Amino acid sequence: MWEVPVWKGAFAVGTSTKWSGPTGKGWASLRRNIGQLGRGTGPATSAQEIPAPREGTADVMPPETVAKCGRRFEEALREELLRDSSVLGLRPAMRAAGDRLVELLSDLRVGLDVFGSPPTEWTGSNTDWFLYEFVRTVAGEDAGLVDALIRRSATRCAEKVLADPRVKEAIEKADPLSGLAMDLFCMVYTFFFADVVTEFAKAAVSEQVKLAIPGLMVVDPGGQIADWVGERVASRIPNPCEHGRGQDDGGRLINEVAADIVWDNVDRALGLANGAGS
């Protein structure tokens, strides 16, 4: 439904800004570790001339190589963000989307009918309308790379909500009395931060391939590096259900805790906060 915009020579990170390309020792080190010389001859003049990723189980990377490359990615990203935390547009975009996600999930706790009925010209189902509005609300409508990555993650968050049979049935029947369960709230919340960084890792590794030496062949066709990074990030994001209390228990509500720690969790996800170490 949504496509990542095509960019040439630099990440398109927002509606009007571009990242001039990965710089620094961290990205150079990652570049050396994600490929190997192929059989290409002469310098590649376009992405199309770089050999396609190989397929097959024989090319699955061993765990130690995946971990090594994953750490290289984390180090490179952290190095870039420490120089300028807004340089990629990733940090502010994740903060804004995270805030919107918590607000939306909190509203859905009260009732699943927050988007109302679809307009008369809508040709899809109520479920399609819910997914469309969920993604639009969380990700907005900008068209930069980071916006597209967040849109993909917001789509997966919506799909996780709809995967709950009770939720899907309530939306299909337009039941105004049903609300989002707190465990689903917390699961979707913690998933979001890791998924955005996973998507960014996939895009960044691809960019390293395009910038690498002539004839480079991708050695991670299955996305193992990005998956490793995502698992690391997920382990650093605290579950608000373990730190808040229900409305009848006294103390702070879970959705209030979730809202308060959005920005800290963005920094944890990007390796900039306490708890983001090895």
Q: What is the pLDDT of residue 48?
A: 45
Task: Count CB-CB contacts under 10 A for residue 104.
Answer: 22
Q: Burial level of 123, CB count in 10 A (0-12/13-18/19+)?
A: exposed
pLDDT greater than 60 at residue 224: yes
pLDDT tier, 212 (very low <50, low <70, confident <90, very high otherwise): low
* pLDDT mean over 93-101: 97
> pLDDT category, 173, cuts 50, 70, 90?
confident
pTM over 0.75: yes
Angle CA 118–119–124, to nearest 5: 55
pLDDT of residue 7: 35
Across the chain, what does the average pLDDT equal?
78
Q: What is the mean pLDDT of residues 184-194?
A: 96
Cα separation, 197 vs 190, in Å, equals: 12
pLDDT score of 131 more than 80: yes
Segment among 37-46, 128-137, 169-178, 222-231 with least mean pLDDT = 37-46
**pLDDT confidence tier of residue 273, bands split at 50, 70 and 90:** confident
CA distances (Å), 9 to each of 12, 47, 78, 219, 268, in order?
Answer: 9, 10, 21, 21, 29
Domain limits, the chain: 11-269
Mean pLDDT to the nearest integer, 217-221 = 54
Which amino acid belongs to residue 256?
A: E
Worst-scoring range by mean pLDDT, 34-48, 105-119, 122-136?
34-48
Mean pLDDT to the nearest integer, 199-228: 70
Radius of gyration of the chain (CA): 20
Please report where in the chains the tokens 């949504």 appear, as a residue: 2
Distance, in Å, from the CA atom of 57 to the CA atom of 145, rounded to the nearest integer, reads 31
> Does the pLDDT at position 17 exceed 80?
no
Kindly report, residue by residue over 48-77, the tens digit of the pLDDT: 444 444 444 445 778 888 898 899 889 989
